[in-house]
Amino acid sequence: MAKHLIITGIVQGVGYRAAFEARARALGLSGWVRNRRDGSVEAMVAGKAESLQAIVGWAWQGPAAARVSDVSVRDADDARISEGSFEQLPTC
């Protein structure tokens, strides 16, 4: 099971990616997170349903300095995610 997230608001320059990665790893999720040129953060996560639900809930909060205005979530194909790894990708 996998989800694709787009997080908007004040989410760049506040440690959002690093915090997202740490939280995803703690939840046992695989995937990646990256900044986008439009100022949003994008993530692809795969794992157990309850862990995915937890990371989506966390995405609405983010780290203390973040101000999240929206989290868009859609189902995704987990074939593009390396199982057992989570990484930060370059800005796209």
Residue 80 designated active-site: no
Tell me whether residue 28 is exposed, middle or buried, using C-beta atoms within 10 angstroms of its C-beta: 0 to 12, 13 to 18, 19 or more.
Answer: exposed
**Separation of alpha carbons 47 and 39, rounded Å:** 26
Q: Which of 17, 25, 34, 36 is catalytic?
A: 17
Q: Which of 23, 25, 34, 35 is catalytic?
A: 35
**Separation of alpha carbons 7 and 92, rounded Å:** 14
Residue 17 designated active-site: yes
Catalytic residues: 17, 35
